[in-house]
């Protein structure tokens, strides 16, 4: 299940993705209001997304946030990984944070691992194949 933090991140990024190309930076207060995200959480989320180079931030009176790349080049999978970490449900199938399971006798023979690899692969395929542009389109087509 997605955490509330991930839902806030996705809603914020989707709001930014709807802004016309070349729009001025959008202030955090407007993002918070439009995406219905508490400002306290949004500040931390936007900092994480900025540090991951998914957003650019600008200071000052006309400051705010813009996507760092066009919406069609930012996937939902990227956003979720920044906020949640690996998509894998168990550490032994993670591509970025692999760890053997403590109670596993044999990874090669583990039926749970085999099933979780399929879940990871399909989840990643769908989330990585769905861009912000896809998600904001009138009719979302499954990846």
- The tens digit of pLDDT for each residue in 51-108 reads 999 999 999 888 999 999 999 999 999 999 999 988 888 888 888 888 888 888 888 8
CB 31 within 8 A of CB 16: yes
Residue 109 pLDDT level (bands cut at 50, 70, 90): confident
Cβ neighbours of 34 (radius 10 Å): 14
CATH, range 4-67? 1.10.10.10
Domain ranges for the chain, please list them: 4-67, 71-136
Mean pLDDT score, 113-132: 92
Of the listed ranges 4-8, 50-54, 121-125, 134-138, the least confidently predicted one is 134-138
- Kindly state the average pLDDT of the residues 21-49: 95
| pLDDT higher than 80, residue 142 | no
Q: Supply the DSSP string of 7-44, one letter for each residue.
A: HHHHHHHHHHHTSPTTPPPBPHHHHHHHTT--HHHHHH
């Amino acid at each position: 299940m997605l955490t509330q933090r991930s839902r806030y991140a996705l809603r914020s990024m989707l709001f930014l993705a709807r802004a016309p190309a070349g729009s001025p930076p959008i202030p955090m207060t407007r993002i918070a209001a439009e995406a219905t995200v508490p400002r306290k959480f949004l500040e931390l989320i936007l900092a994480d997304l900025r540090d991951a180079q998914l957003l650019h931030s600008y200071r000052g009176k006309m400051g705010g946030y813009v996507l760092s790349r066009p919406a069609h080049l930012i996937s939902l999978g990227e956003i979720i990984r920044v906020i949640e970490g690996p998509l894998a449900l168990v550490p032994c199938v993670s591509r970025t944070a692999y760890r053997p399971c403590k109670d596993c006798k044999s990874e090669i023979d583990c039926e749970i691992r085999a099933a979780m690899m399929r879940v990871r692969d399909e989840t990643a395929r769908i989330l990585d194949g769905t861009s912000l542009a896809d998600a904001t389109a009138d009719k979302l087509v499954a990846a």
